Amino acid sequence: MNTSWFRVREGAATRGVLVLDASRAATDHWPGQRALVVGVGALLPAADRPDVAFLGSAERLSYDTFTRDADRRYAANAGRGRVTGPLLDALGGDRPPLVVVCAVRPPADLADWRDGAAEGVALVRLDPASPGADCPELPFDAAAIAAALTRRPGTVRVRLPGGFPLAWDNLAYRADGTDLVSDAGANPVMRVAFAHTGEAAEVLAERAWDGGASGSLPVEPTAPDPEPTWRTLSGVEQSVVEAWRDGRAARCAACGARHDAGAVACAASGGSVLPTLVREAAGRFVRIRLGVMEATYQPVAGSAAVVGGAVVARDGAGGLAVWQPGPPTGGWVRSTEAWGAFEPAGSADEFLLALPPGKPA
């Protein structure tokens, strides 16, 4: 089992794009398109004003850059072919929330947008007599276009095909099976570690926008977090772990009774049979090593622990589940194997301890 770290970044395409037709057939429609851009911008806060592009060009201009110099921008693009390909190629997977294409006739390659982004494009017919297209349409109306461009970021779904999320540093994300899903509108940036077999393939991070469009966020491999330090348990705690290792209940210094293996919380005293560990996060895992002279422990970063070729994680019911990688095309499979709060982990003197979950708020 391997562990790989990735960083999800904020995408660049957070504003919609208004694409104009500068082809010869659309010459008479230039003043109308210029007025439409200004009309849309006047209805939106500065941060939501769309970028502007021309059919046949890959260049995306900010709203301010375009409107400062609209006629010259038009002149520089006049005569361009009525195709969306160059802009589509330039955007790559980082799709904006909505691309509104104004055209005197539907661009021949408009159907290419259907490649996973059918809801991400809308057509405005400059000539109402022209044929429609196989995509949503908007009227030639600034208010309708401004409303369509006002889309809020929704949830982000992050997954490594064949991978199991172990640790992540953005609390807006929660596990949904082996995917991570963020709260709607949350900052999507995070560092995340996945367990996987074989080579780590590409991590997919897809952001949905209110209204149905979605686009991918950039993800890059990154250096792992430093491994948490191994710390020492007290001599009394060492004898507790030794008893558990030997299959015996351990005598509790707090209440005097005996605690079964993994029973860290002491109900009678309200304390812990391993008080050093109360500083560690409730519900998380720690690895414990029994040496000849001392016992040491290391907190596990994140909410799941790799043990051999499997991953141990809490299930939704507060129990512990063992997950194993399924066939290459399938996800992870929950093992029928029961897993206790204190189990051998990898070697004769190393154990995985599940700390008691926190009390519900």
Instruction: Supply 72's token pair.
Output: 């010259």
91 binds Zn ion (CB under 5 A): no
Q: Supply the minimum distance, in Å, between the C-beta of residue 358 and Zn ion.
A: 19
Q: What does the DSSP assignment read for 108-158?
A: TTGGGGHHHHGGGEEEEESSTTS---SS-B--S-HHHHHHHH---EEEEEE
243 binds Zn ion (CB under 5 A): no
Specify the residue, 1 or 254, whose C-beta has the smaller distance to Zn ion.
Answer: 254
Specify the residue, 114 or 248, whose C-beta has the smaller distance to Zn ion.
Answer: 248
122, 149, 172, 252: residue in contact with Zn ion (rule CB under 5 A):
252
Span of 75-83, 113-121, 233-241, 254-262 interacting with Zn ion by CB under 5 A: 254-262
Closest CA to 233 of 193, 276, 182: 276
3-class state of residue 314 by DSSP: strand
Q: Which residues contact 101 (CB under 8 A, 6 or more apart)?
A: 19, 55, 84, 107, 110, 121, 122, 123, 124
Q: Supply the minimum distance, in Å, between the C-beta of residue 294 and Zn ion.
A: 22
101 binds Zn ion (CB under 5 A): no
249 binds Zn ion (CB under 5 A): no
Print the binding letters for residues 260-289 with Zn ion: x by CB under 5 A, - otherwise. Answer: ------x-----------------------
Q: Supply the minimum distance, in Å, between the C-beta of residue 272 and Zn ion.
A: 8
Specify the residue, 331 or 356, whose C-beta has the smaller distance to Zn ion.
Answer: 356
Specify the residue, 252 or 306, whose C-beta has the smaller distance to Zn ion.
Answer: 252
Q: Supply the minimum distance, in Å, between the C-beta of residue 270 and Zn ion.
A: 9
255, 265, 275, 314: residue in contact with Zn ion (rule CB under 5 A):
255
Q: Supply the minimum distance, in Å, between the C-beta of residue 259 and Zn ion.
A: 6
d(CA 181, CA 171): 10
Specify the residue, 35 or 267, whose C-beta has the smaller distance to Zn ion.
Answer: 267
d(CA 38, CA 36): 5
d(CA 356, CA 285): 9
d(CA 325, CA 310): 7
Q: Supply the minimum distance, in Å, between the C-beta of residue 152 and Zn ion.
A: 51
Specify the residue, 38 or 243, whose C-beta has the smaller distance to Zn ion.
Answer: 243
3-class state of residue 170 by DSSP: coil
Dihedral angle over CA of 179, 326, 315, 155, nearest 10: 10
Residues in contact with Zn ion by CB under 5 A are 252, 254-255, 266
